[in-house]
Amino acid sequence: MLKVLYCTHTSIQVSETFLRKTRDYLAIKFDIVVLSTSQKGIDYQSPPSHFLGIRDESLFHRVAYNALSILQKKSKEEVRLRIHRWHVRRFFKSKNISANAAIIEYGTSAFVFAPVLIEKNIPFVITFHGYDCSMYLGFPWYRGKIVELCKSSMAVVVPSHHLRRRLQLIGVPEEKITIEPCAPYYEELPKSQPSTKPTVVALGRLTEKKCPEALVYTAHLVLKQFPEAHFHILGDGPLRPRVENLILKLRLEDSVTLHGAVDHHAALQQLTNATIFIQHSVTSSNGDQEGFPVAIAEALGMGIPVVSTFHSGITEAIEHGVSGLLAQEHDFEEMAKHVNQLLTDENLRLNMGAKGKDMITKIAGPLSREKKIASLIESAIAVDHSRAD
């Protein structure tokens, strides 16, 4: 069986279920070895996994990054990723790592792993997801290097045309880029059984990019027309204290529930009761953007009508007024009007839910991303073999 390295420097968290699914699918096709520079990503036994010995959270590392940043006149993030690369290079040398190919999840991971893979003559495929080809493109040290690495890759995979354009505009060749949205795992999606009580569900980390404050203000406006409605917000993150304070300020404690981080199964079970799914994605102040939100794809796959924003790949998953309703970023008044419209009209909910489900299955079929990545890896290995011959 062909040996393939699965490389990432991010932790495989609750909110990154699609990473675990991709890894597990590839493990059926190849002899997969996971290499992670984040210890949080090493929480499983199969396939074989290696933590490369980097503990960013320690006081020593934080002080060291600050000192090196000043001495080298580089940003702390550039210093951090370069140190990660040094650890990767040392690990490859000490373990005499070899493989037929590699898949690198996230462009930031490519910044760490790809130069070492090039040195080892291991062909690789890079996947991008969101922040790695939006926010990070604002860093000159990253932007120039990532174009170079994409050109050296066998292929680049992005989840949306929006992110494909972002990469093309900085110089990544169009022929290198493949668009594959992150599809829901349809076999795991439970049947939608909306509650008799108006139930609005949101799922996502409480970060600026998800703008959870807009969800609370949306709830505040909707509850004026539908006082019996209940909003469930699933997810945790740095903005939780602000969201909690806003709920108290608006006196919504009895109508808005913060569930915190939940596992994937629990999130899907909560979705089964949803009348409507909402997500207020925005471009954050540092330029961070979504790729192709998996939570929206899952809601669509369950036939739940979705209200979201005109943002990044969301407009490729939802046709406004046909398969869902969209508002401008930060426009919670418009979002509330959309929610009210759907709560008022059951036929509209059913129609949009059905059209949304049909649309998502057409653009993101079962395991389509995983199958494409496996195919790209096989092609990369074949090309590498032909060059060797």
Segment-wise mean pLDDT, segments of 10 residues, the chain, 389 residues: 88 63 91 81 61 63 70 79 88 92 96 97 96 96 97 97 98 97 92 96 97 98 98 97 98 98 92 98 97 95 98 97 98 98 98 98 95 95 74
What per-residue confidence (pLDDT) applies to 56? Answer: 58
What per-residue confidence (pLDDT) applies to 246? Answer: 98
Rounded Cα gap, residues 297 and 361, in angstroms: 9
What per-residue confidence (pLDDT) applies to 76? Answer: 81
Rounded Cα gap, residues 303 and 294, in angstroms: 14
Query: Are the beta carbons of 278 and 201 closer than 8 angstroms?
Result: yes
Q: Between the CA of residue 325 and those of 21, 81, 282, 373, what are the distances in Å? A: 29, 39, 15, 31
Query: Are the beta carbons of 304 and 357 closer than 8 angstroms?
Result: no
Q: What is the CA radius of gyration of the chain?
A: 22
Angle between helices 212-225 and 240-249 (to 10 degrees): 20
> What residue has token string 């005499």?
96
Q: Which domains does the chain have, with CATH numbers?
A: 3-183+367-388 (3.40.50.2000), 186-363 (3.40.50.2000)
Q: Is 347 left (phi over 0), alpha (psi -120 to 50) or beta?
A: alpha
202: phi then psi, degrees, rounded to nearest 5: -125, 140
In tens, the pLDDT along 265-315 reads: 999 999 999 999 999 999 999 999 999 999 999 999 999 999 999 999 999
What per-residue confidence (pLDDT) applies to 345? Answer: 98
- Strand order through the sheet with 155-158: 49-51, 31-36, 3-8, 101-105, 124-127, 155-158, 177-179
What per-residue confidence (pLDDT) applies to 177? Answer: 98
What per-residue confidence (pLDDT) applies to 14? Answer: 43
What per-residue confidence (pLDDT) applies to 60? Answer: 63
What per-residue confidence (pLDDT) applies to 55? Answer: 60
